[in-house]
Amino acid sequence: MTTEHVAAEINAWKVAQQQFDLAADRLNLDPGLRRVLREPRRELTVHFPVQMDDGSVQVFTGYRVQHNLGRGPAKGGIRFHQDVSIDEVKALAMWMTWKCAVVGIPYGGGKGGVIVDPKKLSMKELEHLSRRFFTEIEVLIGPERDIPAPDVNTTPQIMAWFMDTYSMHVGYTVPGVVTGKPISLGGSEGRNEATARGCVYTIVEAANHLGMDLTKSTVAVQGFGNAGSIAAQLIAAEGATVVAVSDSTSGIRNMSGLDIARVVNWKKEHGTVKGFPGAEDITNAEVLETECDILIPAALENQITARNAGNIKAKIVAEAANGPTTPEADEILFARGIFLIPDILCNAGGVTVSYFEWVQDLNRDHWTEDEVNAKLKTIMVKAFNEVLDQAHHHDVNMRTGAYLNAVQRVADATAMRGLYP
């Protein structure tokens, strides 16, 4: 059975709740508080019509979920993908709550999605779909209420349409209603690289902690989209050798090292990494099991499972994607001494710079890329060390350490605020 089939069988929402339960048990959370945090606060499902280029009308289904608003407005991306489901969106919203708490930024977790394959839409159809979907979920959205951002298959252009749609409805420009916008419309410098940059900051810290020399390390990257391709470039800039990468169609490997800039150009030109000169074509699953020091899963959920966790050869697994490892696989990796940097820490660079973008928008300010990267590094390094301390203190893996920090912070805020009315 392929990795994709296994991923489809695993329910992301059950995984998210399982991860939460592990932390709640250790924290001895109050049962009532536990019940509150175990479920999302709001789930909105919308069915909305879009006029297609041929004149026909199609109806699409979309979701917006807010998990917890105890620490601030909801924050989280919107994905356009044919496999989006309400359970996936609920899981991603819960993960966003913990992610914001782990790096200490004042947001709660939200997430959205539309069931659509955007590659099958024209630019005009994509714009119509984006604007109409945003109009439908607008009952929940606002710069002080819920601030969406890009995710799988959504771009700065789509964020610009979202922002314009909201602004047209209120009658003035509101740049702070979404993040991940083009720079010309109030986007932040460094936002495009933020997820990957935060991931690499945590890898550098992990390598130092483990006494690994990055310049002698090999890296495999699963997923060659925004996060994966930029992480590959940044880790190569740290002196590491990237030996394998994959995208949604296939993977490539060269144990002597890949020239990442050339792979990026090849992918732009051919739409896939497959067939890259001087590398062997391999499957997505083989990229995960490649002989390497650092593995960066940067694709979708549930890629490392109980079935393949025993075959992972890396010393560090850095989760640039959301939820790539199942709880069963976590136990196997931990027992094998593999150091895992969990998603809610590893890929929190994206939401951290989204937070910077929002602050800049609310203050009508603009920071340089150097300022953004310096602030990001400070936050990521601090969060990494806090999680490491927690993991050591409780003798648990890094994921549980991250959850202990995050859940405690959200629980404290929720308890302090109390139940209204």
| 181 tagged catalytic | no
CA 42 to chain CA centroid, nearest Å: 21
Residue 206's Cα: distance from chain center in Å? 19
CB atoms within 10 A of CB 295: 27
Sheet with 241-246: strands ordered across: 280-282, 251-253, 241-246, 218-222, 294-297, 316-318, 339-341
Collapsing DSSP to helix, strand or coil, 151 comes out as: coil
Query: Which helix (H) or strand (E) element contains residue 115?
Result: strand 108-115
**Contact in structure between 167 and 135 (CB atoms under 8 Å):** no
Token output for 238: 């740290």
The rounded Cα 404 to chain-centroid distance in angstroms is 19
User: Which of 90, 99, 111, 267 does the annotation list as catalytic?
Assistant: 111
Q: Is 326 left (phi over 0), alpha (psi -120 to 50) or beta?
A: beta
Nearest to 212 by CA among 293, 318, 314: 293
Helix H, strand E, coil C: the string for 178-214 is CCCCCHHHCCCCCHHHHHHHHHHHHHHHHHHHHCCCH
Tokens for 167? 């602004």
Give the separation between CA 141 and CA 146, rounded to whole angstroms.
5
Listed in sequence order, the residues at least 6 apart from 207 whose beta carbon sits closer than 8 Å to its beta carbon are 213, 214, 217, 294, 316
Cα 71 to chain center, whole Å? 20
3 state SS of 241: strand
- For strands 57-68 and 42-51, give the pairing: antiparallel
- The residues annotated with a catalytic role in the active site are 111
